[in-house]
Amino acid sequence: MEIFIINESKTKDIYRQICDFNSKKKLIGLSRDTAVVVGGEQLSKITSATGTQNEKILEEFFDLTRSASVVIACRVSPKQKAEVVRIVRRKEAQNNVTTLAIGDGANDVNMITAAHIGVGIRGLEGQQAARASDYSIGQFRFLKNLMFTHGREAYRRNSYLILYMFYKNVIYVLPIFYFGILSQFSGTPFYNAVMYQCYNVFFTGMPICWFCTFDWEYPKERLLADPQLYRLGLTNKCFNSFVFWRWYLYAVWQSAVILYLSFVTFNEASGFAFNGDAIGDSLDYTGTFIIMSIVVLVNVKIFISTHTHTYLSVFWQVGSVMWFFVILLVLNMTPSSDLRGIMGVLLGYFNVYIIMFLYMSGFILVDLGLQ
């Protein structure tokens, strides 16, 4: 390894030395790793130079350190530590670089708060760094786990959480708007009020909570052994404008298909009339079937997105769908309910299951194909 030690005392000599190191580094190329060592006195003169000289020396210093394998700044003050972080943030702002600072003492607090992400180590030097940080760990060696396992998976899960929450709520409320077009915006509701309120709490709440807490795309050992998997976050693969609007459009077209095909299908002219009565003439029947279709769809979607299937994950996903039928059964048996007697009619005919299967298979296959 080639070691570049910046040890001159005057600013112009420091500038000349850095330029010489940059020239030598270009000659070395990629054949050898490089390390840069700079003292607190020299670093102070590099960051405090004024005017044009300041920009030149900072640019040369940054070029030297950016390509180095390691940079060691010794005998620096807390203010200088923070200044180094700010320089990196300013110089790399156009590249959307994220900085991370880690420290274990009170003299690291300025540096930790100046970085995008601050990590504090709880230890013999007190709790100041841990209190000022975004994340706190017990030992330095835990940083690898924090970044390459928990950090990577937290980014993936939280991205899915945001996308899924928009998706499942957009696909649920847009049929109300589409029905307004069919009913000339009369304001007639077709969702049962009780079922409508239970959607986020009972029908779709627990599966996403479980997913965001316990789902792992790969085993922890593989995440630590293969750093390429960490590029998922560096490239913003899980969450960007394209991904967000793709999920949003999924919800838009799927909700439209569910609503319009439900009203067209449950119609006497379609051949799917029950006992000679067009079930489409009853908003209670059609609205309940639409809710049932959406509840099954969003739970199937999170089921196929889950990588770590366990008894509990399947329990919450299947159980959320079963909650729908439990509450529907209660309303079916309540004398004052608008849905009294609906369960036997809606679930007693094979055509309902055919339509449900066509919905699920079509939507899921299209989603998987577009991804």
Question: Buried (b) or exposed (e) across 270-285, using 16+ Cβ within 10 A?
Answer: eebbbeeeebbebbbb
Around 86, how many Cα atoms within 13 Å sit in the side-chain half-sphere? Answer: 11
Count other Cβ atoms within 10 Å, centred on residue 371.
Answer: 8
Type of residue numbered 339: L
Q: Strand, helix or coil at 138?
A: coil
Q: Strand, helix or coil at 125?
A: coil
**Tokens of residue 237, six digits:** 């693969």
Tell me what pLDDT residue 369 has.
63
Tell me what pLDDT residue 55 has.
75
Task: Give the E-state strand segments of the chain in sequence order.
Answer: 2-6, 34-39, 70-74, 100-103, 117-121, 135-137
Please tell me the distance from the alpha carbon of residue 60 to that of residue 56, in angstroms, as a whole number. 6
Type of residue numbered 147: M
The Cα angle at residue 136 between residues 135 and 141, in degrees rounded to 5: 110
Tell me what pLDDT residue 150 has.
92
pTM: 0.83
pLDDT tens for the 371 residues of the chain, in order? 788 888 888 888 888 888 888 888 877 765 678 888 998 888 888 887 655 666 788 888 888 888 888 999 888 888 989 988 988 888 887 888 889 999 988 889 999 999 999 999 987 777 888 999 999 998 889 999 999 999 999 999 999 999 999 999 999 999 999 888 877 788 778 888 898 999 999 999 999 999 999 999 999 999 999 989 998 888 889 999 999 999 999 999 999 998 888 877 766 544 444 444 444 446 778 888 899 999 999 999 999 999 999 999 999 999 999 999 999 999 888 887 778 877 877 777 777 788 788 888 888 787 776 66
Domain extent listing, the chain = 1-76, 144-370
Type of residue numbered 261: L
Please tell me the distance from the alpha carbon of residue 295 to that of residue 322, in angstroms, as a whole number. 10
Could you give the dihedral angle defined by the CA atoms of residues 162, 145, 91 and 158, in that order, rounded to the nearest 10 degrees?
A: 0
Handedness of CA 219, 237, 99, 33 (dihedral sign): positive
Tell me what pLDDT residue 145 has.
92
**Tokens of residue 203, six digits:** 């029908």
Q: Given the structure tokens 């394998």, which residue do they identify? A: 69
